[in-house]
Chains A and B, each alone.
Chain A
Amino acid sequence: MEENTKNINCAEEKIKKEINEILEKYTQTKDNLITILNEVQVKYGYIPKVAQIEISNYLNIALAEIYGVITFYSRFTLVPKGKYNVSVCLGTACFVKGSREILERAKAKLGIEEGQTTQDGKFSLDTTRCVGACGLAPVFTINDEVYGKATVKKIDEVLDMYMAKE
């Protein structure tokens, strides 16, 4: 138990240090909040609580307000995303070409609902509204990789490939 607490404290200290390195790049004005949050989200895959506290101190914004901003924008999350974040596009162009079925398949295959992460932390599932690759509709993405002209068979194959990976 004691060992655990120590580990957590260690991890927190590390994040704290890294966050402060990020913060130093910005002036202490409120309009930098979203830019900073974007950077933290990209780095950790979510916005850890210690990061929120550090940002709150640095920009002199109440923690509640920061929480309000994080929950307002769909790009920010409070829980870690999976190692592989699967995101199915539900933009109009993809929708009329059957992206719902792709999403259903991904849900069934991963055994999670949208917005959730698998227990082993390997996969998370999201939906997105248009990645702008409408010429390839329907589209899904895994991390930064875009898979176009998707079919149920294709998402099956791609997910199998990722499942076989580390």
Chain B
Amino acid sequence: MGKTIEDIDNIRKEKRKELDLRVNINSDSIEKHILVCQGTGCTSSKSPEILENFRRLIEEKNIENVRVIKTGCFGLCSKGPIVIIRPEDTFYSMVKPEDCEEIINTHILGGKIVERLLCKELNGAVVNRLDELPFYKKQMRIALKNCGVINPEDIDEYIAFDGFKALEKVITTMSQDEVIEEISKSGLRGRGGAGFPTGKKWSFVKAENSEQKYVICNADEGDPGAFMDRSILEGDPHSVIEAMAIAGYAIGASKGFIYVRAEYPIAVKRLQIAIEQEREYGLLGKNIFGTDFSFEVEIKLGAGAFVCGEETALIESIEGKRGQPRVKPPYPAKYGLWYKPTLINNVETYANITRIILNGADWYSSIGTETSKGTKVFALGGNVNNVGLVEVPMGTTLREIIYDIGGGIPNGREFKAAQTGGPSGGCIPKEHLDTKIDYESLAQIGSMMGSGGLIVMDDTKCMVNIAKFYLDFTVSESCGKCTPCRIGTKRMLEILERMCDGNGTEEDLYKLEKLAFNIKRSAICGLGQTAPNPVISTMKYFREEYRQHVTAYECKSMECKALAKIKIDEEKCRGCDICKKVCPVGAITGEPGKVHTIDQSKCIKCRSCMQKCPFKAIGC
């Protein structure tokens, strides 16, 4: 038997009191909670073992009023595994399984902080608390609100933090049109990449007359380097399922599908647990909260195809076919899954819905820029100090994200470019670091929002090589349905390979550009139409680098090994012989005390000599 509104309310009140210490640093609770991140990043570095160790120690030592909780991702993945002690909010980073005993003895029993496990800022300052870290200061968490706060495998904890309040409000007090109106007014736009207004999409599906409609959650996060959808599903799965039910109510659908990558086993497992718990509580199934509204959700696994992130390809894949996009229009709102009207939104889009319903459209639209409201989660990665998930209001600049939150570029290197939008996006150079990020501004400078991957590249990266990397990706992921994408991108890749191997010509530059614009115009789906973007944007901002590859046959960053030339500066060389000894292939010759030379035909560009030369005489 399902739970009534009163039942859920009672759970909320009771549990909220119990969990006050999770969000209130001054809580007078006698309990302490040890939160251990169990997201994919931390799990890969032994956080399950840490969790087990804490549990075992607490049992062995018979400690009372201390609970060990598994949570989703805290965001600062490069400092993982992360352990947080509440209510005091002590933030321990890079914890090893063998550190658990010290944390229990010193912190929990002794009341003293284990200083050596605290996070250090770049200037060496030690930070005690999570909210004092520069990484978190400029962030604003809406979609990630519950991640790292609740145990994602316990529905009661989700209920404690306003879980299912939005669903209750929607199905007991609002009409379908009122829900859609609220979402439209909030200004929320699709977070999967294209940025289509969410409210408008909902109204299209609602307007269709059909007995059967479907709600789909697109969790096929294929963009390499983006992992926000995975973290939301791992850290707060109920918020996505609740939002799907709200969408189902608004458009008149009783069935939902979550299409999730099979490469995300933890996310899949948490979703399964969440669905089971909701069924048990009657929050999924027939007559939810005793009303006429019924809703069911099913998980469908992807099987490793980037193109399935495209909505019509995803629909084909759910139907059990090859994931090849359909020609649009008609859009899924009219003919979607099994040719029924279908609403399809991205995970992060859904994660915003319950907050909009509870806090109101006006609150949400007060955040962000003129055209893009709310926040966006970025997966910050690459050559940046703090790698992880960051959620910032729209309109934050790249400089703020990379330097203030990300802590700048490591190893004393310089910033060269930031890549947003994955294989569909572009590279943004230094001169645009102060652009306020939103859908329009990114498109204007030749990139796109995409799903929110943000890869920082330092000055050792070759932009031609990066363009080649992305093309290589699109070529292997092209579904083969349309010629421009299937053959065109392959030809582009061949040209880029020629350039990187030192066989490119100036004519290739022209050919590459022409092909790029033709594919953009003629491919049938979003993947093909945007595939040339990495080439177009790097050619726009780093044209000189392309020219060097085809005229001087030179690659300044030495990533293109065929083109790199390592030379010894005759004036600086003292003939110390060190380089000769470290060279693994015997390419360096010269008498001790005299200037040495490198035989270019033997050199494998390993840079060992460059690193070892005490006079900095070797360079390129």
Name A's B-contacting residues (CB within 8 A).
Answer: 29-35, 37-38, 61, 68-69, 72-76, 90-93, 95-97, 128-137, 139, 144, 146-148
Contacts and interface: CB of A to CB of B under 8 A. Distances in A.
A134 B227 contact: yes
A133 B44 contact: yes
Given A92-B422, A132-B264, A135-B41, A76 B382 contact: no
B301 A38 contact: yes
Interface stretch (B154-162, B453-461, B544-552, B566-574): B453-461
Contacts of B453: 92-93
Nearest to B307: A72
Contact of A136 (B45, B221, B226): B45
A82 to B, nearest CB: 18
A132 to B, nearest CB: 4
Nearest to A59: B320
B355 interface: no
B262 A38 contact: yes
A139 B473 CA distance: 18
Interface in B486-511: none
B378 to A, nearest CB: 11
Contacts, number: 135
Contacts of B78: 135-136
A76 B303 contact: yes
Contacts of B319: 30-31
A35 to B, nearest CB: 6
Contacts of A73: 302-305, 323
Contacts of A72: 305, 322-323, 479
14 contacts: A29-B320, A34-B302, A35-B300, A69-B321, A69-B322, A72-B479, A76-B303, A91-B224, A92-B455, A133-B44, A137-B382, A137-B387, A146-B40, A146-B44
Interface in B285-322: 300-306, 317-322
Given A72-B479, A136-B45, A148-B45, A33 B320 contact: yes
A90 B44 contact: no
Nearest to A29: B320
A147 B43 CA distance: 11
B580 interface: no
Given A96-B382, A97-B383, A132-B221, 20 more contacts: A30-B320, A61-B320, A72-B323, A73-B302, A74-B304, A91-B225, A92-B224, A92-B381, A93-B379, A93-B453, A95-B469, A96-B383, A96-B466, A129-B222, A131-B40, A132-B41, A132-B227, A135-B76, A135-B78, A135-B388
B38 interface: no
A5 to B, nearest CB: 33
B178 to A, nearest CB: 34
B263 A68 contact: no
Interface string B274-293: 00000000000000000000
A158 B230 CA distance: 27
A135 B262 contact: no
Contact of B306 (A90, A97, A129, A139): A129
Nearest to B419: A92
B224 A90 contact: yes
A144 B455 CA distance: 26
B332 to A, nearest CB: 16
Bin the interface of chain B by size.
Answer: 35 or more
A148 B383 contact: no
A132 B320 contact: no
B301 to A, nearest CB: 5
Interface string B211-249: 000000000011111110010000000000000000000
Nearest to A38: B301
A133 B40 contact: yes
A9 B379 CA distance: 51
Interface of B: 40-41, 43-45, 76-78, 80, 221-227, 230, 262-265, 300-306, 317-323, 379, 381-383, 387-388, 419, 422, 453, 455, 457, 461, 466, 469-470, 473, 479
Contact of B44 (A31, A76, A148): A148
A92 B382 contact: yes
A93 B225 contact: yes
A131 B226 CA distance: 10
Contacts of B473: 129
A157 to B, nearest CB: 16
Given A96-B457, A139-B44, A132 B322 contact: no
Contact of B77 (A74, A129, A134): A134
Contact of B322 (A68, A95, A97): A68
A40 to B, nearest CB: 11
Contact of A92 (B225, B263, B323): B225
A142 B367 CA distance: 44
Contacts of B264: 132
Contacts of A133: 40-41, 44, 77, 227
A130 B383 CA distance: 16
B461 A128 contact: no
Nearest to A139: B44
A93 B38 CA distance: 21
B429 to A, nearest CB: 16
B301 A34 contact: yes
B382 A93 contact: yes
Nearest to B472: A90
A129 B226 CA distance: 11
Contact of B320 (A34, A129, A137): A34
Contacts of B77: 133-136
Contacts of B470: 92
A154 B381 CA distance: 21
Contacts of A144: 265
B320 A31 contact: yes
B50 to A, nearest CB: 15
Contacts of A75: 262-263, 303-304
A15 B319 CA distance: 26
A144 to B, nearest CB: 8
A156 B368 CA distance: 48
Contacts of A29: 320
A166 to B, nearest CB: 24
A91 B262 CA distance: 16
A92 B469 contact: yes
A132 B479 contact: no
A20 B340 CA distance: 32
Nearest to A72: B322
B330 to A, nearest CB: 20
A128 B469 contact: no
A34 to B, nearest CB: 6
A154 to B, nearest CB: 13
Most buried by A among B221, B303, B321, B322: B303
B244 to A, nearest CB: 18
A133 B383 CA distance: 15
